[in-house]
Amino acid sequence: MEENESKHMFLATEFRTKLLTDVQNCLKSRNIACDKICVVKRVRDLHDGDYCVPKGCLPKVTNEILEEICEELKESNTNHHLKLCKVTTSKHFGLTFYLERPLTFKSTLVPFWENGISLSSFCDVGNGAHVLVASSDWHSRSSGDLEDLRSIVVLEHVTHLLKGAGYCVEAVRCCQQKKSSPDLLDITIPSIALTGQMSVDCKDLVKTLVVNNSYCKGSHQSFGRCDSDVPCKHVKLGKDSSVCAASDSVSKPCGMDKETGQQQTKVILNLQRFVEDKQLPVGKDGYDKNLKFSELYCGEDTISETLKEAYLLHEAIGKLQKHGTSTVVHIVPDSAYFSQQRVDLTTRTIWPEEHSHKQVYLVHGPVKARRQTQANVKTATDFVQLRFSQMKSAAVMKYGEEVNGPGWQSTISVLTSAGIKFEMLSTVSRSTVKLDLSEGESGAGSDTRTGSFVMYNCARLTTLFKHFEESVGKGQYPPLPNIADVDFSLLRDEDEWSLFFLYIFPYPDLIRETVEELVPKAGGISAKIHTHKICNLLISFSHSLSSYYSRIHILGENRPHLLPLMYARLYFMKIVYKVLSHALRLLGVEPMSQL
């Protein structure tokens, strides 16, 4: 995207920033403190103004001075694309700003239409940097559980968000065995699983670590099989962070596994010293302070879980190393955050030269049932099937026995996938997702129908456009003119301005804000990616659109004095559809043309 086009897309942020600067300059010229001044975007009653400076920000400014500032701002705050038509002062708002609507409509809608909207239309924050987004199912309590399903959905969404922010993104799933996401979700993510050759390589690796790695020390004691997520009580670290001898609780110095009796090779990696040497962050915003070591072992038929995961992560990154991967983003449930940090550090400690890139985390909360139910939902597949049957039952109630055949099967599958993604993504990532797992219609509450409601509104718009084109073909309407010839000043309905100002005008800024900070500048390891924002925008946008569409008749009579307004509304609805479609694709959902 050309630089001038990019700036043109971000009119909302640009204008608001300039407005704040102008207000501050007006106050400074009068020797009035302006440290706490803020310009707030209004979200309701827009007929009373679009932006405001709250009265509390101007406690010592008299009404006379405010009146002077209003006149000064109205004259000074103009540019090629936007300008103020009115600035007022009132009892509750120190300053209230009104945008000139016709100019704002045209300055935003025309570029949206002419430049199009693709995944990377608005933002170049990433500047083409290569990112690997990875998740793992090794931490799942059971194969394919609901927490794992949330990881898959978040992984797909983050991949699209980062692409939309200007990054070159690859996604991968580190799996216990080769498998795909649950049926009906239509999520395709490359996966990597441990092969027989990888197992051989793991064993060879452990045998050579003691000789080749300064952070490694061999252990000839029988530690038994240790859960890698729990610090082993038989190992302690000295004051210099070196690995001390095993404690007295280890009585048999042998290399045998207690359970299998097989000979094992075991090593201990000093993660604490590695973190200190590399000056990695520790504590609240960094790695867990209890990550002091990593115990790796392998026998004839056994390999420690941490070693398997570390090797898989190494292989996944290695396949993308040719692209110059600069950052790895781990999508991980909160319950596995500690153990995934161990895998991360283990990988970097074993292959320090090959893993110098940054590694950050996006942690999501658990998935729980909203209330005790009798539904037999034990896996993600069970959950998807439950939602599919509920969606089908709802369709049968509305359309009757005609709900049959591959066409309906495909439609219901798409709606089911959309509904599940909305359920998983409408909640802030660190919060718990609570699902209603009741069988039958009682479980198909408003949360489960949100996705289909958004899809329904998209389908209504495509049906509108289809009807218009058919009418043009029959000679009932003239063809749609060029957008440059459309008079957007005819869009005078308050709901039209609300749809525009609250959803279309700030949409490019929202895309940029979802990826607030991929790699924290302060040195932490928690990526600031807001996975709930797009989903919540779609929900609110769809409700507002539905209210407007039900009240306003878009296709009117073919009369010369009515056609200009119809053309303005048609273009407006087409751009609304573009924004909705773009946002849905960021969720991994393809909008439907009809329901």
Residues 391, 159 contacting (CB under 8 angstroms): no
591 Cβ contact list (under 8 Å, min separation 6)? 455, 458, 459, 462, 577, 580, 581, 584, 585
Amino acid type, 63: N
Say what the pLDDT of residue 4 is: 44
Bridge partner residues of 287 (DSSP): 282
Residues 315, 309: Cα–Cα separation, whole Å: 10
Say what the pLDDT of residue 246 is: 37
Along the chain (595 residues), what's the average pLDDT of each consecutive run of 10 residues?
46 83 88 85 91 85 87 73 85 87 90 72 70 82 74 94 87 75 70 76 76 69 38 39 37 45 76 91 90 84 84 82 77 92 91 82 90 72 88 83 78 90 93 84 63 92 95 93 94 95 91 88 89 95 95 90 95 95 92 78
Residues 122, 508 contacting (CB under 8 angstroms): yes
Say what the pLDDT of residue 339 is: 92
DSSP state of 587: T
Residues 580, 542 contacting (CB under 8 angstroms): yes
Residues 202, 296: Cα–Cα separation, whole Å: 10
Say what the pLDDT of residue 79 is: 60
DSSP state of 556: -
Say what the pLDDT of residue 37 is: 86
Residues 329, 321: Cα–Cα separation, whole Å: 15
β-pairing, 216-218 with 265-269?
antiparallel
Bridge partner residues of 131 (DSSP): 169, 327
> Encoding tokens for residue 198?
């990888």
Residue 292 CB neighbours (<10 A): 20
> Encoding tokens for residue 460?
């209504």
For the chain, domains (ranges, CATH) are: 6-99 (3.30.1360.70), 130-178+185-202+270-368 (3.40.50)
Distance of alpha carbon 445 from the chain centroid: 24
Amino acid type, 457: N
Residues 500, 503: Cα–Cα separation, whole Å: 6
- The torsion angles phi and psi of 526, rounded to 5 degrees, stand at -100, 115
- Write the DSSP string, 429-483: TTSPEEE---SGGGG--HHHHHHHHHHHHHHHHHHHHHHHHHHHHTTSSPPPPPG
Residues 351, 317: Cα–Cα separation, whole Å: 11
pTM of this prediction?
0.86
Say what the pLDDT of residue 253 is: 33
